[in-house]
Amino acid sequence: MSEKGREPLRIGVLGAARITGRSLIDPARATGHRLVAVAARDRARAEAFAAEHGVERVAGSYAELVADPEVDVVYNPLANGLHGPWNLAALAAGKHVLSEKPSASNAGEAAEVREAAAKAGTVFMEAFHYLFHPVTRRLHELLDSGELGELRHVEAMVAIAAPPDTDPRWSLPLAGGALMDLGCYSLHALRMLAPWAGGPPRLAGARGGERAGAPGVDEWLDADLEFPGGATGSARCHMAYDGLEMSIRITGSRGEATAPNFVLPQMDDRIVVRTPEGERTEHLGTRSSYTYQLEAFAARVRDGATLPLDADDAVTTMALVDDCYRGAGFEPRPRTRV
């Protein structure tokens, strides 16, 4: 049984992505949920994945997994361009869906996913796991308490070293690009500050650079945002960076707070707060953000608990992503045909 004696979620995994070990397998083990099935394009890969991670069985195809009556939750960590089509398929089959971000290739497809979720009456959530960790919750508390004063500016930077040229994250047909893979975190984190900024931000300007040998795919992109209350924001991303950076800094009229790694706070759980009273460092815990996320998702599925993320939120994020692409001289990502 899972936590509090509840029946465990019965999860089916699409693909054998490396991220799944930390994003789902470990959290499922920690919280007592079942890994019922996995499917991959290459059955041998699926079998190796199942053996390594203790998945109960291998499905013959993505379609077979989505149709499996014993699966009640589908986890979708496929390449970006395959999120939309298989989210739609899973929802049409009446499944709850936990989708890696972004939820679709563009805002139009995200709206279709929203409609499918409404029709299915099941839970759909885009996996912005950072939002559930105490690091992000504490940043919001610092704004809510007034310790930082009125919000003035926020800067978020999410950057990694370059994946290999053959990586699907560099593929335009698979909806690749730095903004899709990384920048959506920066944009989402800024969007979540709307309660302290007079409302959601709008794009004021964007710049980006194309990946050599990958026409139409952004290697980096910087977006400038403006909030209704007068605060400004900078959402940056880079997918060929010199190292790893996943930081956010919130500046208010009375002080500032910085989280060195808000995306993966289990790697660095610090928040550094600077006010006229001095500087302090808070540690918020190294328990995985993905574990917090799965607990919240399960509470929604089993008990109807509220979630800060849903299909509406996913559409709003994708609309801002599309705006950023246009503002930086790129086209929104095309839909991937399956």
Give the start-to-end residue ranges of the domains of the chain. Answer: 10-128+292-308, 134-286
**Residue range 82-105: average pLDDT?**
98
DSSP designation for 335: P
| Predicted pLDDT of residue 1 | 46
Q: Using N-to-C axis directions, what is the helix angle for 311-327 and 107-120, rounded to 10°? A: 170
Mean pLDDT of 80-92: 98
The answer to pTM > 0.85 is yes
**Tens of pLDDT, residues 250-291:** 999 999 999 999 999 999 999 999 999 999 999 999 999 999
141-154 as b/e: b if 16+ CB within 10 A: ebbeeeebeebbeb
Using CA atoms of 4, 5, 10, 14 in order, give the dihedral in degrees to the nearest 10: 30
Task: Give dist(CA 142, CA 216) in Å, integer.
Answer: 40
Sheet with 151-159, edge to edge strand ranges: 202-210, 218-226, 232-238, 151-159, 245-252, 256-259, 270-275, 278-283
Q: How far is CA 122 from CA 94, 182, 219, 311, 315, in A?
A: 7, 27, 36, 11, 17
Q: 338 pLDDT band (50/70/90 cuts)?
A: confident
Query: Which CATH fold topology does 10-128+292-308 show?
Result: Rossmann fold (3.40.50)
CATH architecture for residues 134-286 = 2-Layer Sandwich (3.30)
For residues 4-30, average pLDDT:
90
Predicted pLDDT of residue 18: 84
In angstroms, how far is CA 107 from the centroid of its own chain?
15
Query: Each residue of 112-155: pLDDT tens digit?
Result: 999 999 999 999 999 999 999 999 999 999 999 999 999 999 99
pLDDT in tens, 48-80: 999 999 999 999 999 999 999 999 999 999 999
DSSP letter, residue 24: I
User: Between β-strands 96-99 and 73-76, what pairing exists: parallel, antiparallel or unpaired?
Assistant: parallel
Is 4's pLDDT higher than 90? Answer: no
